[in-house]
Amino acid sequence: MEFMRISYRNLAYLILVVSVFLCGCAAFETTKIEPIFDPEATVLPRSGTIAYAKNGIVALAVPLNDVKAADAFAVIIYNGTDHFVSLKRKECWMLDGTGGQTKPIHRSMYTATLGKNYKPTLPPEFKSEVFRWNRSIRIYGDTAALPTEDVETTRIMPKQKSQFFLYFRTRSIKSSNLRVVVPKIYSEYDQSETTFVFKFRVKKG
């Protein structure tokens, strides 16, 4: 009986050690968000950008894998039409692999989530890769610091672009794929609405 008590005690200790080890591995497990092939999209492989063109509007989304505190994406909307289009950033959302929907982190929580001195950084290959794909879209200079004002509606002039960033509570830890939805880009000419769904997978290891 004494032998069995020792064995059970050792077994319990072993289970505890293994559990701590596995938890530690999970905590330090790296994740990378990558584009999924879509026949309707163009994938720019060096930067991991997904690009769609629909109804005269070009939309691009690129994951910011250097951000660890959130699932982060840069989004660029280029208005290739001859009239104004508009969108509401707060209506963007993310669908994770479990079917859960997540809204972007509100700007009032940027500092608490990302840090006081955080500044978004695009992948180094992004600007040149986008320009080679579509010379109408030019990305100049560095990205701006985090905005402090909450703009309700973004209007984009013809042949101009808008660039913004979306930060979501981290879902990539538990999900194998993510969908970033930029809905209802509104045409002020014919009142049509265009929605873009960017498809990504989560690579772990």
Write the CATH number for 195.
2.60.40
Q: How far is CA 156 from CA 159, 171, 183, 187, in A?
A: 8, 30, 15, 10
Alpha helices in the chain (DSSP H): 2-27, 110-114, 126-133
pLDDT band of 191, cuts 50, 70, 90: very high
**Residue 2 resides in a domain:** no
**Residue 183 resides in a domain:** yes
**Residue 131 resides in a domain:** yes
pLDDT of residue 82: 96
**Residue 15 resides in a domain:** no
Specify the long-range contacts of residues 114-119, CB closer than 8 Å, at least 24 apart.
114/67, 114/69, 114/70, 114/146, 114/167, 115/69, 118/146, 119/143, 119/145, 119/146
Structural domain that includes position 155: 32-204
Number of domains observed in the structure of the chain? 1
**Residue 7 resides in a domain:** no
**Residue 8 resides in a domain:** no
**Residue 144 resides in a domain:** yes
Q: Is the pTM of this model over 0.85?
A: no
